[in-house]
Amino acid sequence: MSERLPHLSALRAFEAAARRLSFRDAAEELGITASAVSHQIRTLEAYLDVRLFDRLTRAVALTEAGSALYPKLDVGFRLVESAVREVRSLRTASALVVTAGPAIAAKWLVPKLYRFQEQYPGIELRVLTSSRPVDLDREDVDVAFRHGRGDYPGLESVRLFGEAYTPMCAPRLTEDARRPLRVPADLRHQRLLHDDAAALPGKGAAGWAQWLRSAKVRQVDAQAGAHFGQTDHAIQAAIDGGGVLLGRVSIAAFDLSAGRLVRPFELTLPSPFGYYFVTRQGRQRESAVAAFLSWIQAEAAATPGLPP
């Protein structure tokens, strides 16, 4: 009889922690707690009678034994995942799984999807929203709708449209006779709204301080006002008349074209980022993926006001 292998959950916890060199990040990926990951790895170390990680103050590092185990385990899990995807594709050949960020999905993609279903009734579409970039090599996803620079090693990407930032608000704020909003200096009489999801450190996104400086406006506190951690919440607050938002033109395009939001000023700040259609290598030639790419490119071209 062959030697009994360690429990799969312990091997999976080790593989994720070794790949990310973080018990916390592995726990987030696996949907369990960091202490559960640590317990699984200690169980595996006890089974193998070796130490797999050096526990440092704020990090972990693979030991010689861990470095020997990880590459082979990584290959093994990739083979298992590939086999599962292959079998699933036989069962759901007409299904297409698409992932996108919550805001762009709610405000741009989802309102248009009925047209795709009308045009391609034979393709079963499944939309998953996630705030983190989905690993297309490891997860059961066909297409990712990503916000970034388009540099995704090992993947194929097609740029759909760009991004830009400009003030936007409910129409009634521009029509208020008591506090008119006609020139940028009038912002001193308005509440500012902040989309913190677009201004995370390292993202290079524009903020109110940059816009006010470009507009040569002084005596306005660029940090004052309500801050929102999700873009669609910030847009809804602006629609409701809660203030003036320095918003992302692409995500607000649907509300701008419908007249729920207006752009009181012409000054717009460009973004270094854009939105991309991303797949694994070679997937764009598959019929369902190619159909979705063709459709989404047409929708992007037909959306008024999108940055190029």
- Is the confidence at residue 116, as pLDDT, over 90? yes
Question: How far apart, in whole angstroms, are the C-alpha atoms of residue 151 and residue 156?
Answer: 9
> Mean pLDDT in the chain?
87
Task: Report residue 183 CA to chain centroid gap.
Answer: 34
Q: 127 near 98, Cβ under 8 Å?
A: yes
Supply 103's token pair: 């805001």
Q: Which helix (H) or strand (E) holds 43?
A: helix 34-48
Residue boundaries of the structural domains of the chain: 8-90, 94-162+273-302, 163-271
CATH class for the region spanning 94-162+273-302: alpha beta
Q: 243 near 237, Cβ under 8 Å?
A: yes
Percent of the chain with pLDDT over 70: 92
- Condensed to tens digits (0 to 9), the pLDDT of residues 117-166 reads 999 998 999 998 887 777 887 788 899 999 888 888 889 999 999 999 99
Helices in 185-270 by DSSP H: which ranges?
Answer: 208-214, 231-239, 249-257
Torsion of CA 85, 91, 94, 99, to 10 degrees: -40
The CATH code that applies to domain 8-90 is 1.10.10.10
The single residue listed with the structure tokens 């938002």 is 245
User: Is there a common fold for 94-162+273-302 and 163-271?
Assistant: yes
Supply 41's token pair: 């790895």
- Condensed to tens digits (0 to 9), the pLDDT of residues 181-193 reads 889 998 988 999 9
Candidates 1.10.1060.10, 3.40.1160.10, 3.40.50.720, 3.40.190.10; CATH matching 163-271:
3.40.190.10
pTM, whole model, 2 decimals?
A: 0.65
The single residue listed with the structure tokens 């903020």 is 207
